[in-house]
Chains A and B, each alone.
Chain A
Amino acid sequence: MKLRQSPCAKLDTIPIFDRLISMPQLPDVPLDGLYGDLVMDHYRNPRNHASISDADVEAEEFNPFCGDRATLQLKLDGQGRVSEIGARADGCSIIQAATSMLCDQLHGKSLDEVAEIGERFRHAMKNGAGDDDLELGDLLALQVVRQYPVRIKCALLPLTALEEGIKAYRARPG
């Protein structure tokens, strides 16, 4: 089958991807169709899958169009850094992989840093990743989803949950 080629494949030979030519080449990230190895790996072996009991930050987000769901939990240590993560998603491979990839980037980060990663990820999904986005790590594999616009909301669902969770945490008195 011809799944759409990754943007790292010979761009100049694939006119349909003209609009993606401005994307930087990120040679360390294997992008291989929508269902590339990295996406499938996170889908099949989701990281931080166990739920945690006394989370500080907690949020659940639904996609009203398909009923998919992402649930995120963060526990913070004495310095306010992420020490434990619980991440679960019910839904398609993209939402499950995105949930796993996103949470994988958060260990040891302060909530400000977490929010910054989130912003960077959202920006990269909307406008394409830049040279300075390498810290997004495995999340860069989701750049391929940009070729499937209807699926972008699947990739961003866990981020929306995370943002809501942080907002609620910060709004809490004390």
Chain B
Amino acid sequence: MTTVFDVNKVRDDFPILKQWVNGYPLVYLDNGATSQKPQSVIDAIVNYYTTTNSNVHRGVHTLSQQATDSYEGARAKVRQFINAGDDREIIFTRNTTEGINLVAHSYGRQNVGPGDDIIVSNMEHHSNIVPWQMLCEEKGANLRVVPIDDTGELLMDEYEKMLGPRTKLVSITHVSNALGTILPVAEIVEMAHAHGAPVLFDGAQAVPHMPVDMKELDCEFYVFSGHKLFGPTGIGVLYGKAEYLEAMPPFLGGGEMIKSVTFEKTIYNDLPYKFEGGTPDIAGAIGLGAAIDYVNDLGFDWITSHEEELLRYGTEALSSIEGLKIIGTAAHKSSIISFVMDKAHPHDIGTILDEQGIAVRTGHHCAQPVMQRFRIPATARASMAFYNTKEDIDALVKGIDQVLEVFS
């Protein structure tokens, strides 16, 4: 049974939401860029630095042991959260970008050669385009781009046609940050596997909004950022199937990732440490663990039903505004509403909303190819989280009225 939470009680857990900005109560609708942090996450970080701070895996002293336990405890929380089989499959990174670059450098350099294909989609964030472009350039490989339709849906027929013996990796977003589209990840994996190709999902915009299950999904790699999941900046996660990670060379060389070093030969450490060179973001991992605890307490049953209702309400409200067009109208969407107005540029929309304490993102959202696909330079984007309310959307609609007043 779904526990129904009072969203106003939930909001009380987020101190920043009590703020006023430019003389108005903050209406935070930029969760796609980064999310706010509950008090429990802030406390976990403060507690760590106040009582436990020490380096991990290095000392026999008590604090080092406690820090190691907390850091590894966070890894176990991540493993449970995404239902992976083994803690060794959870690599802490800085963010989504680093996770993708790790796979591109380590797996990509080892396995991709001249004439091979890497498949991405037309709605990727730049961080899931540029590392592959760099790799393709270095190796003489091809970056293939699966097109999308006018609603922002992936063209699965085209995708299937692209797959073949030369496909070395499919790297596709789980949820589009610019359009909100939720991609059919199970089918994407199934089709890729039918051609023996491994799959990486960019889960940056998925994990804050829906449960993900590595065992069920069966993808080879999955990456996300802690800061979009109500955790701190500076910590992210790469999930990789153990057999893949075992076979891959390390990414960063240094401390932590070795078993023994002589000038003749270095023996690399076991998973996951092989990929965690240098002192990690210990406090960040602990903060992420606290964020996962917080999300688990709310539960995705409530989170998704609340966010679906916000999306429905927001879509209806914004669609009824004359001269406003929603970009991204896929049947299966996350709580992201990207829009353009025929009378005002997204920057001007953003500034006028900001005057009223309303934070939205304006620009190309680091997804220029998707903007080019829709022949627009930029959009304004309202991206909701579970602490947003219908009142936030009402404020947005009122804010847009002001845009119309200035620009009509």
Contacts and interface: CB of A to CB of B under 8 A. Distances in A.
Interface of A: 1-4, 34-35, 65-68, 90-94, 148, 151, 154
28 contacts: A1-B355, A1-B405, A3-B355, A4-B355, A34-B351, A35-B352, A35-B406, A35-B407, A65-B363, A66-B364, A66-B377, A67-B363, A67-B364, A67-B368, A67-B371, A67-B377, A68-B347, A68-B377, A90-B377, A91-B377, A92-B346, A92-B347, A93-B345, A93-B347, A93-B407, A94-B347, A148-B351, A154-B347
Contacts of B348: 35, 92-94
Main SS at interface, chain A: loop
A90 B364 CA distance: 14
Interface in B91-121: none
B378 interface: yes
Contacts of A92: 345-348
Given A34-B351, A35-B352, A67-B368, 16 more contacts: A1-B352, A1-B405, A3-B352, A3-B406, A4-B22, A4-B355, A35-B348, A35-B407, A66-B347, A66-B363, A67-B364, A67-B371, A67-B377, A90-B377, A91-B347, A93-B407
Contacts of A68: 347, 377-378
Closest 4 CB pairs of A and B: A92-B347, A92-B345, A67-B377, A1-B402
A1 B378 CA distance: 25
A65 B126 CA distance: 12
Interface centre among B23, B345, B371 (most CB of A within 10 A): B345
A68 B368 CA distance: 12
B362 interface: yes
A94 B22 CA distance: 21
B181 interface: no
Contacts of A154: 347
A94 B363 CA distance: 15
B356 interface: yes
A5 to B, nearest CB: 11
B405 A67 contact: no
B21 to A, nearest CB: 13
A136 to B, nearest CB: 23
Contacts of B364: 65-67
Nearest to B354: A148
Interface in B388-408: 402, 405-407
Interface string B310-349: 0000000000000000000000000000000000111110
Contacts of B406: 3, 35
B365 to A, nearest CB: 10
B347 A151 contact: yes
Given A66-B363, A67-B368, A67-B371, A1 B347 contact: no
A67 B355 contact: no
A90 B351 CA distance: 18
A2 B346 contact: no
Contacts of A1: 352, 355-356, 402, 405
Nearest to A34: B351
Interface in B55-114: none
A92 B340 CA distance: 12
Contacts of B346: 66, 92
A148 B22 CA distance: 12
Contacts of A148: 351
A55 B405 CA distance: 39
Given A65-B363, A66-B363, A2 B347 contact: no
A87 B22 CA distance: 35
Contacts of B377: 66-68, 90-91
Given A65-B363, A90-B377, A2 B368 contact: no
A105 to B, nearest CB: 24
B376 to A, nearest CB: 9
